[in-house]
Amino acid sequence: MTKKLGFIGLGIMGKPMALNLLKAGHTVTVFDLNEEAIQALQKAGAKGAVSAADAASESDIIITMLPKGEHVEAVVSGDHGILTTAKPGTIVVDMSSISPVTSRALAALTKQHQVEFIDAPVSGGEPKAIDGTLAIMAGGEEAIFEQVKDVLLAMGTEVVLVGTNGSGTTAKLANQIIVNLNIAAMSEALVLAAKSGIAIDKMYEAIRGGLAGSAVLDAKVPLILERNFEPGGRIDINLKDLTNVMETAHDIGVPLPLSSQLLEIFHALKADGKSGLDHGGIVQYYEKMAHVEVKKG
């Protein structure tokens, strides 16, 4: 069924996600601070909006895909935000990676305005955003989730309601621990092998079918061997996610020693001017210490 959607945030992930909603036949009104991003979506058939409030006034479901929690808060409750024009019964689906505390606070706030809220962050990076195969983890009321599930399935193949509001963003924090620590472990192994002088591409071929094989290994090793660090998931965004991980963990009394070490590695990469790289660039932290470069051959 065609639905009237608003989409706010047309960055690396948001732009292809909005395009997939258009391909699915939905009416999509888009807004971003980048005028060129809006124009690109308009060429694909979207309507352009001049503010989040403008997008919300046209829509029954409003999707936000933004870098940080403060951006989501501003878009939802700011002077030109969603709540200034959203009709009662409107559903806000926040697909950003933010703190569960912020998600629950936004859910409570929107409820006061008779607007529903689902937190539904994603995993899979730019490639899966483009081909519409994202993993989507949602938090909210089941009845509300069912109203937006078909929309989410236009952007992802695995769409799971994890629990109440904040559950989706909590699941995303767990996801980010696993993904980024996998990349770090992989980076250590690659640098060890490179310093030993063996052919990394052959090593990858040898181990990828065993227990060390993973989606992370297959996604990142070919790019590293080509020295391609164009961002699918930027280091600064993952730094933000791991900061949320540690704050949440400390709030509930969960020690995360490996995650805390990786957060410091991210800070070191940022200080080294590498915050705009893909998080596969974690390998460059280890390369710098070992004075070696991981590449083919």
Catalytic residue positions, numbered = 172
In whole angstroms, what is the distance from residue 105 CA to residue 190 CA?
Answer: 42
Angle formed by the axes of helices 167-196 and 282-290, to 10°? 30
Tokens at residue 4, please? 């009237």
Q: Are 90 and 40 in contact (CB under 8 A)?
A: no
281-287 LR contacts (CB < 8 Å, sep 24+): 281/229, 281/235, 282/180, 282/183, 282/184, 282/187, 282/235, 283/183, 283/186, 283/187, 283/190, 283/191, 283/224, 284/229, 285/187, 286/187, 286/188, 286/190, 286/191, 287/191, 287/194
